[in-house]
């Protein structure tokens, strides 16, 4: 799986303003449904919010990977934002989150869900990539970095 398989340039946004976790999840919902007519913004938001209520999806170092399952999805979809200013995400390390990748998968895709989360977590643990993502000035730059930051699969 490549990041470009689940993330389109239209679902990446650089310099987003969100004053709270809830508002960020709303914005991610709006972004995730772009170019995805089968997805409903309200269902996406509710799925992300429900998962977040179980516990923070912050993975540390200013990164969060909110994720959820959708009844009407037939494939995995991603959306990514770089926040203009970090927000509290109730993470274990207490660091404000400014890099956020939302993942939505079909309701029955348990194995795929876990595999993609693993790929994303590994990707975001790269200090150099995180620094480059934080320095991105445009949506296009952010997209190019995140899809190019993943090592090729064999």
Q: Which two tokens stand for residue 136?
A: 């991105």
Residues present in the chain in total = 154
Residue 67 annotated to the active site: yes
Q: How far apart are CA 28 and CA 4, in angstroms?
A: 17
Exactly one of 13, 26, 66, 67 is catalytic; name it: 67
By DSSP bridging, strand 67-70 and strand 97-106 are parallel
Helices 127-135 and 110-124: angle between axes, nearest 10 degrees: 80
Q: Could you list the active site residues?
A: 67
């Amino acid at each position: 799986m490549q990041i470009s398989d689940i993330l389109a340039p239209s679902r990446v946004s650089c310099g987003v303003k969100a004053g709270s976790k809830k508002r960020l999840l709303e914005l991610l919902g709006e972004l995730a449904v772009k170019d995805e007519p089968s997805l409903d913004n309200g269902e996406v938001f509710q799925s992300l919010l429900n998962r977040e209520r179980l516990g923070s999806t912050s993975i540390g170092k200013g990164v969060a990977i909110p994720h959820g399952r959708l009844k009407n999805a037939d494939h995995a979809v991603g959306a990514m934002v770089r926040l203009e200013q970090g927000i509290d995400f109730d993470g274990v390390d207490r660091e404000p989150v400014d890099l956020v990748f939302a993942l939505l998968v079909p309701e029955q895709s348990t194995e795929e869900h876990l595999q993609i989360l693993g790929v994303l977590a590994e990707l975001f643990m790269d200090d150099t990539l995180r620094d480059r993502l934080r320095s991105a000035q445009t949506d296009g730059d952010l997209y190019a970095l995140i899809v190019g930051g993943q090592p090729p699969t064999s």
